């Protein structure tokens, strides 16, 4: 395989969208897709790539150093785009060990494998190589209602086992650049939404429950604020950073869409009332407030001006256009949703959102 990139976590939500988006370009480099296929990894997301010789899938744990070594020496990638992570805050609260193992130990293992591989390249290939680490705005902690948005210089202050594990992985990536010279780039994104999103997260959960006639569980008072980023815009930003980002730099990727959780749920209900109306009443009638989760950060907001200033990137979707596309995708792809909603998933949701 020539001119290929490695993508870890490429069967997950953002990683899967990135692989599909990348290979939509007929002239794009080939992809070696490395994913452990945990509950959130889904090969059905990649079904359109069946038979495409530009896509090689390997069911591999990033904690498996020997397997990573074999894949790197076999395929000789020019870049690694690292999405693989445990990513759901609620799950990190009830079971933090997997987050430490995947997000910290896994990133360390991957960095060690890549460092050894990169060190064996010739001078031109070493200079061209890139390691892009995809992270989250949650590493910065929580903002007050009048605080400035997170910038690349905001101090880290993670408040959940998930965000703490991602903060640790960010620090490891930075250290491997400054200590070993590994050519790294880091992106910290806001809340993503869009197609192929596992239905434990807010937007797909609300769509699924609404259509199923179930309560729409909203934590606390519903006034926690997040910045919402359409996943297609995030993929475009990652491509720009991979191609043109300055080595060792971090870039915040945001959608410029601060919304309360309740605003998001109201907008979703209104879209469903329009696109798939109920026999009577509004989907808003299904909204139910539930006990807040421990340590629930009040507000996240991303300042993405550095990315715009240096690389010319801005999101193409507004929250309204992106959410309409997302709702329509879920309405058109209920088979995909049902396939991923196993009994284990249903039991977890019932426990997590118990009144």
Does the annotation count 112 as an active-site position? no
- Catalytic member of 137, 200, 240, 297: 137
Does the annotation count 29 as an active-site position? no
Does the annotation count 123 as an active-site position? no
- Catalytic member of 117, 162, 230, 283: 162
Rounded-to-integer distance, Cα 41 and Cα 21, Å = 17
Rounded-to-integer distance, Cα 253 and Cα 145, Å = 20
Q: Would you tell me how many other CB atoms lie within 10 Å of the CB of residue 177? A: 19
- Catalytic member of 138, 227, 233, 317: 138
Any residues with CB less than 8 A from the CB of 303 and at least 6 apart, and which? 148, 149, 150, 151, 252, 254
DSSP string, 83-138: ------HHHHHH-THHHIIIIIIIHHHHHHHHHHHHHTS-HHHHHH-EEEEEEEGG
Is 335 exposed, middle or buried, given 0-12, 13-18 or 19+ CB atoms closer than 10 A? exposed
The DSSP element (H or E) to which 232 belongs, if any, is helix 231-244
Length of the chain: 355
Dihedrals phi, psi of 171, to nearest 5 degrees: -65, -40
Query: Which residues have a catalytic role annotated?
Result: 137-138, 162
């Amino acid at each position: 395989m020539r001119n290929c990139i490695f993508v870890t976590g490429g069967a997950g939500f953002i990683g899967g969208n990135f692989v599909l988006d990348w290979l939509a370009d007929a002239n794009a480099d080939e992809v070696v897709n490395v994913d452990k296929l945990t509950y959130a990894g889904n090969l059905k997301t990649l079904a359109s790539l069946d038979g495409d010789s530009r896509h090689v899938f390997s069911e591999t744990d990033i904690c498996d150093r020997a397997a990573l070594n074999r894949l790197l020496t076999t395929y000789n990638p020019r870049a690694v785009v690292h999405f693989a992570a445990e990513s759901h805050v609620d799950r990190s609260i009830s079971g933090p060990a997997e987050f430490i193992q995947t997000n910290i130990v896994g990133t360390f293992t991957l960095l060690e494998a890549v460092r050894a591989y990169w060190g064996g390249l010739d001078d031109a290939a070493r200079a061209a190589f890139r390691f892009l680490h995809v992270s989250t705005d949650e590493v910065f902690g929580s903002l007050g209602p009048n605080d400035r948005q997170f910038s690349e210089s905001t101090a880290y202050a993670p408040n959940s086992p998930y965000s703490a594990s991602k903060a640790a992985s960010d620090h490891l990536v930075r250290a491997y650049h400054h200590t070993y010279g590994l050519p790294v780039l880091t992106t910290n994104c806001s809340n993503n939404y869009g197609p192929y999103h596992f239905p434990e997260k807010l937007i797909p959960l609300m769509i699924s429950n609404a259509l199923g006639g179930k309560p729409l569980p909203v934590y606390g008072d519903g006034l926690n604020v997040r910045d919402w980023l359409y996943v297609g815009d995030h993929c475009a930003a990652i491509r720009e950073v991979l191609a043109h980002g300055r080595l060792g730099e971090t870039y915040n990727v945001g959608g410029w869409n601060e919304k309360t959780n309740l605003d998001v749920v109201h907008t979703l209900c209104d879209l469903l009332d329009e696109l798939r109306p109920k026999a009577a009443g509004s989907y808003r009638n299904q909204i139910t407030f539930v006990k807040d989760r421990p340590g629930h950060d009040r507000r996240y907001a991303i300042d993405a001006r550095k990315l715009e200033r240096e690389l010319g990137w801005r999101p193409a979707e507004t929250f309204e256009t992106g959410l309409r596309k997302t709702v329509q995708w879920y309405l058109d792809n209920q088979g995909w949703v049902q396939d991923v909603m196993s009994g284990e998933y249903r039991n977890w949701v019932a426990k997590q959102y118990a009144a």
